Amino acid sequence: MAQVMIDIAGTELTEEDKTLLGHPDVNGLILFTRNFQSLTQLSELCQQSREAAKKPLLIAVDHEGGRVQRFLQGFTLIPAMADFAYLDDTAQQLTLARDMGWLMAAEVKAAGLDISFAPVLDINDVSDVIGDRAFADNASDVVTLASEFIAGMHEAGMAATGKHFPGHGSVQADSHVAIPVDERDKQSIFASDLPPFRAFAKKLDAVMPAHVIYSQVDEQPAGFSRYWLQTVLRQQLGFDGMIFSDDLSMHGATVVGNMQARADAALTAGCDMILVCNDRAAAVELLQHELPETNAASQQRFTRMLSGDVSMAMDELQRTDRWQRAQQGIETIRKAVGR
């Protein structure tokens, strides 16, 4: 058994979706805006997907806040992570970072999902695709704010996934549509980008590597590199959580070869679960081939990512003091930003 995360096209399952979710190698489902119509529909979709899988299924979404938030109607609009910096009071920044981590995670869980791929631990430098998704333009502030955001996620019962290891902020090209190459030397990368991942090596439940080639360090993108995933992340940083590949359909992954080659390379390099999204034909073809098997440690990491039963429905959640306080915090952030 391998561990593969797929996507679906619509707001309800097709027969092909059900068949793929039942495939022994498929253990994950990622949802996008196109899969969302209403809170009730989303909750039913999650339930039906788990029934179709007939095994534990990790359901995920990119719901960071700001411009990367897949579900809107019925959900709170979470501020961008960079917005905390507009607050003059440091203590208030930390309190609201924790509240936003809790709020994001609690609402996503209330809809029936397990995880949101968050937080972004990149340093905001020259990358437009990162930009205000990052907490700050320096590692110290990223660590300080992300620590609270992660704590809030954990208080809501959600595992935290740091991305994009070892850092996507210092290369301008967007790995969705290009093959980014970061030509900085190893010392610069380790000094400026790696500190958040080093600081959270024991706190993060999962990490997602970047589809970026750090040419002075390794010829392979980080998500296909044994050096980055095994030598640095596992051995030097001591990380024992889940490693998710970024979407193998992204252009930044094409340097490795076809989808079969990408899947084999990512799993062999050390990814516990690979994402194959927005290319159903490639996913179908991939699942017809034998993939590298998941070892026992990887299976245990997968189990730790599952959030279990929904602890609180959305309407119940919205009546809690914590949710009401978080809404007030959002108004405070909006006023500070001037929106």
Residue 246 bears catalytic tag: yes
Give me the catalytic one of 25, 141, 182, 246: 246
Cite the annotated binding site by residue number: 62, 70, 133, 163-164
Copy the structure tokens of residue 223.
Answer: 């998500």
SS3 category, 5: strand
Confirm if 211 and 245 have CB atoms less than 8 A apart.
Answer: no
d(CA 339, CA 68): 18
Confirm if 218 and 254 have CB atoms less than 8 A apart.
Answer: no
The shares of helix, strand and coil residues in the chain, as percent rounded to the nearest 5, are 45, 15, 40
Give me the catalytic one of 176, 218, 240, 279: 176
Confirm if 309 and 38 have CB atoms less than 8 A apart.
Answer: no
Confirm if 64 and 120 have CB atoms less than 8 A apart.
Answer: yes
DSSP 15-60: HHHHHHHTSTTEEEEEE-GGG-S-HHHHHHHHHHHHHHHTS--EEE
Closest CA to 118 of 75, 175, 80: 80
Note the helical H segments in the chain.
15-21, 39-53, 90-110, 139-155, 186-192, 195-199, 226, 259-269, 280-286, 296-305, 314-317, 321-337
- Beta-strand pair 63-65/68-69: antiparallel
Cite the annotated binding site for substrate by residue number: 62, 70, 133, 163-164
Give burial (CB, 10 Å; 0-12/13-18/19+) of 299: middle
DSSP 51-77: HHHTS--EEEE-EEETTEES--TTS--
Residues tagged active-site: 176, 246
